[in-house]
Amino acid sequence: MRLLVGTDDGWHDVGPTASTGVDARFDRVLFHLDDDALPGLLPGPGHQGATLRVIPFLALGPARLFDHNTLVAAAAAFVLDAAAGWQVVAPPSTCAQPDGPTLSFLADWTETQTGPVVAGQSVVLDYDLARNSPCRQTYNGAPTWSVTAVATFLPMRVVQQVSVVDLTAGEARPTLARLHAPDGATELVLYFRNSDRAGCMAYDSDYGRDYHYPVVAAPGGRGPSWVGDAVATISRAASRRCEGAAPFGSRVTFGSWARQRAAITDLCFSAWEPGVTEVDNPDLWRVMDAQAHYRFDPTQPFSTTSVGLAGRDGHNARYALDLRAFDPFQWGRCAGAVPTMTVDASGGAVEQATLELYFTVNDVALRPGGDGVFRVTYEDYAGSPRTRCDTP
């Protein structure tokens, strides 16, 4: 390692006075500069107001290898002065980790992704300029072309365009570009456009299909604007989930008829978020995380399970939870696995178990009365031979 030091009478090539190994990869190099070797180096009493220009380089035989990672221009120098304590302070961007995932588009026409694209956060594009190079006109040796990333965030169709090439130094250098995924986005659609001043235009778009990336909701992200319309479908005639559903208030009964005859046995509810639930999106579950929280014993904490999408109802997303999945009297379920009670009915004694539950979509809860629970009463004839195992 050597230094070019700029003084009033020109540039001076200065060699190191000492070198100390730091580890297997790095050495610490010491340079000693004084007025004896470099007259007029730091003029003025106490060197106040003086500046020192230095350019580090490696001597490779007759050639010199300059470090242009921080200073891009060919003749750029580090400037040291007394006010900064004669130190070079690295800018915050030097070796900084990006504040979002990086989507890399490599020269061999492959793509990599370091993490999920998250709504409300940034995403970094790292584009190798060798991928898309037909349109590269220059003028007086300077590039007059560009490569632009064109991004569309769905479903709101927010379009962002950013350059992935830096031309400020009179030469083309790749640069990290940054996009911002808006809240409520569920998908990023991306392509790259190469153009020059001669009118040449070329595209990197996965052969016209564009590059597609799902956008997920931030953990603990904002919930939907509305959750409601709790209904029940226990029907033999329904052909699809939530069809012919009726409001169930806070309680519904699941008996032997439902267990033996019903084709659809769902609790359904809806959620709405502008620009999100108003369009069909198979990845909506990533943005609107619906869960059911349930228990049979009111003295125990709630357990949690995911609630699947059942489609879209107008501008709302519709969710459905199959009550059959919780039926404690289903054949094969262990007797005594949940607390039950026996009551007298017109057809004889029946055994009942009550499921308490409520729903959440992201951070918004759906409860009857604001803070109550929905109740599903499961019942079967007392003493029915329905189980094949006993509680341990």
Per-residue pLDDT tens for 231-265? 988 888 877 888 877 777 768 899 888 988 988 99
Mean pLDDT of 168-173: 79
State whether 114 and 199 are in the same domain. yes
Residue-level pLDDT at 271: 93
Q: What is the span of the domain harbouring residue 142? A: 102-216
208 and 248 belong to one structural domain? no
Pairwise CA distance, residues 133 & 144, whole Å: 13
Q: Are residues 161 and 237 in the same domain?
A: no
One domain, residues 29 and 111: no
Q: In terms of domains, do 169 and 146 share one?
A: yes
- Which of 186, 216, 246 is a domain's end point? 216
Give 77-98 pLDDT, tens digit per residue. Answer: 888 776 666 676 665 455 555 5
Q: Poorest-confidence range of 32-36, 77-81, 164-168, 348-352?
A: 32-36
pLDDT for res 370: 72
Mean pLDDT score, 310-333:
88
For residues 178 and 243, membership in a common domain is answered with: no
> What's the pLDDT at 303?
94
Q: Is residue 133 assigned to a domain?
A: yes
pTM: 0.48
User: Mean pLDDT in the chain?
Assistant: 82
Q: Are residues 300 and 323 in the same domain?
A: yes
- Number of domains present in the structure of the chain: 3
Residues in Cβ contact with 362 at an 8 Å cutoff, skipping those fewer than 6 apart = 217, 220, 221, 222, 223, 224, 288, 289
Beta-carbon count within 10 A of 155 CB: 18
Same structural domain, 210 and 137 = yes
pLDDT of residue 98: 53
State the average pLDDT over residues 54-69: 78
The CATH number assigned to the domain holding 147 equals 2.60.40
**End residue of a domain, out of 30, 51, 84:** 84
Inside any domain, residue 122: yes
Q: Which of 104-113, 209-218, 288-297, 329-338 has the lowest mean pLDDT?
A: 329-338
| Domain-located, residue 392 | no
Query: Both 174 and 230 in a single domain?
Result: no
DSSP state letters, 146-210: EEEEEEEEETTTEEEEEE-EE-TTSS-EE--EEEEPPTT--EEEEEEEEEETT--EEEESTTTT-
Q: Which of 282, 316, 279 is nearest to 155 (CA)?
A: 279
| 392, pLDDT greater than 50 | no
Asked if residue 41 belongs to a domain, the reply is: yes
Please write the tens of the pLDDT for every residue from 300-312: 999 999 999 988 8
Answer whether residue 390 is part of any domain: no
Q: Cβ atoms within 10 A of the Cβ of 258, count?
A: 20
| Statement to judge: residues 208 and 234 lie in one domain | no
Domain shared by 355 and 239, yes or no: yes
Contact 326, 304 (CB under 8 A): no
My answer on whether 233 and 366 are in the same domain is yes
| 389 within a domain of the structure (yes/no) | no
Q: What are the residues facing 66 on neighbouring strands?
A: 57
- Helix-then-strand count for the chain, H and E: 2, 33
Higher per-residue pLDDT: 313 or 37: 313
Average pLDDT for 45-54: 66
- Domain's final residue, options 191, 216, 241: 216
Question: What is the distance between the alpha carbons of residues 293 and 302, in angstroms, rounded to a whole number?
Answer: 6
Q: Does residue 92 lie in a domain region?
A: no
97 in any annotated domain: no
